[in-house]
Amino acid sequence: MVWQYDRSAGQRGSLGRCARCATRPVCLSADLKDDALRRLPQLMAKSGSLQTGAHLYRAGDRADAHYYVCSGSFKTYTASVEGDERITGFYIPGEVLSCTLGDDGRLDGAVALEPATACRLNHDDVLALNSVGCLSHFFQKQTERETKLLDHQLILSSPSAQARFVGFCLQYSDRLLALGRRSDILPTPMSRTDIANYLGMTLESLSRVTSRFSKVGLIHSSRTHIELLDSDTLRTI
């Protein structure tokens, strides 16, 4: 994995990498101007393009940085002692992966679901954000991350498979909306197996739920997308 700072920002009149980034409106750089905008990419290194299935980090790595998804998407997983994996989250641009520590390094691993990039912020550089003027954004992002985890908790504590699936769709939909994308079409670069695992159910149960919802016209489900046809009705479940 190649990581690269943007030392050139400010030279040749350029505002730097962040100014040109499509994800900027939902990233740390959102409200920055001029000088600050130029200095941020000097604090945060951007990854080269990760291919599908490539690890952003692995369980056991030193956990000394936060990662902001710039393009593409990631999943995180932890392996329990018995060897079975648990998908703990999906991440789309603007969201942050970080800080899941065990006694020796990270507890979870992060894998690209499609060609993706991310920006790295070392823990040691967090305070430097203050001088750039986006430390409050940083805290905001951490809060959003925590809210996302709690949402997942709520989804998992639903008793029925149907309710968990609906929770997943609506949460995902809201996140796409925050990103400024269509909220009625959910791209699914992850496999059904991953979604089922994330929702704490079996592949078959998930398939039955999607089939049932498709039949009654609530959703249209294909391999690559889930389309919400009637999100109002979904929201009542």
Binding site for DNA (CB under 7 A): 159-162, 191-193, 200-208, 210-211, 221, 223
How many Å apart are CA 59 and CA 113, to the nearest integer?
A: 17
Judged by CB under 8 A, does residue 200 bind its own copies? yes
Torsion, Cα of 139, 73, 100, 19 (10° steps): -30
208 binds, among its own copies, DNA, none (CB under 5 to 8 A by kind): DNA
Rounded Cα distance, 130 and 187, in Å:
36
State how far the Cα of 45 lies from the Cα of 42, in Å rounded to an integer: 7
Q: Least CB distance from residue 21 to its own copies, whole Å? A: 25
Q: Which two tokens stand for residue 107?
A: 């507890």
Alpha helices by DSSP H, listed for 59-160, are 129-132, 135-156
Q: At closest approach, how far in Å is the CB of 192 from DNA?
A: 4
Per CB under 8 A, the segment of 25-33, 155-163, 181-189, 219-227 that binds its own copies is 155-163
Cβ closest to DNA, residue 148 vs residue 192 = 192
CA distances from 197 to 78, 85, 87, 202 (A): 11, 8, 6, 7
Contact segment (CB under 8 A) with its own copies among 30-38, 149-157, 177-185, 187-195 equals 149-157
Other Cβ atoms closer than 10 A to 124: 9
64 binds its own copies (CB under 8 A): no
Q: Assess 152 for contact with its own copies (CB under 8 A).
A: yes
Look at residue 221 and give the partner it binds from its own copies, DNA, none, a contact being a CB closer than 5 to 8 Å depending on partner kind: DNA
Instruction: Give the Cα separation of 101 and 106 in Å (integer).
Output: 5
Instruction: Using CB under 8 A, list all residues that contact its own copies.
Output: 78, 80, 86, 88, 99-102, 107-108, 123, 126-127, 130, 135, 139, 142-147, 149-150, 152-154, 156-159, 200
